[in-house]
Amino acid sequence: MEGEVKHILLAKFKQGITEDQIEEYIKQYANLVNLVPSMKSFSWGKDVSIENLNEGYTHIFESTFESTQGIADYISHPDHVQYANTLLPQLEKVLVVDYKPTKVHL
C-alpha cells in the first residue's frame, strides 16, 4: 500500500505511574521521529471526549509514515524495539491501529 499511513496507539497507563513519568515516556516516543527515518511526524493528546466511550484509554499517540512498509520498518527498528520494551510494561491497556487517510469528496 502506497501513500501516507497513520499509526494510532491508544493507551491507559498503569495505576501509580506519575504524570512526570508519563511526560518522559511521551518525550521518548516523540524522539523516535529523529531516530526512525520512515516516521514522518508524531502528535499526542489526552482523551477529552464527553461521550464516555473511551473504554478506559486516556492517551492517544499518532504517528505518520510514508507507507505501510514504513510502519514495518519502524516496528523492527532497534530504537523503536527498545522504546516499546520500556513503554509497554507501563500500560494497563493498549490498542494499535493503522489506517490510510481517505478524503471524502462530496
DSSP state of 18: -
- Among residues 29, 77, 80, 83, the one annotated as catalytic is 77
Please give the grid coordinates belonging to residue 2. Answer: 502506497
Question: Torsion angle of alpha carbons 64, 67, 68, 69, nearest 10°?
Answer: -120
- Among residues 25, 29, 57, 74, the one annotated as catalytic is 74
74 annotated active-site: yes
Rounded to whole angstroms, how far apart are CA atoms 94 and 88? 8
77 annotated active-site: yes
Q: Which positions are catalytic?
A: 74, 77
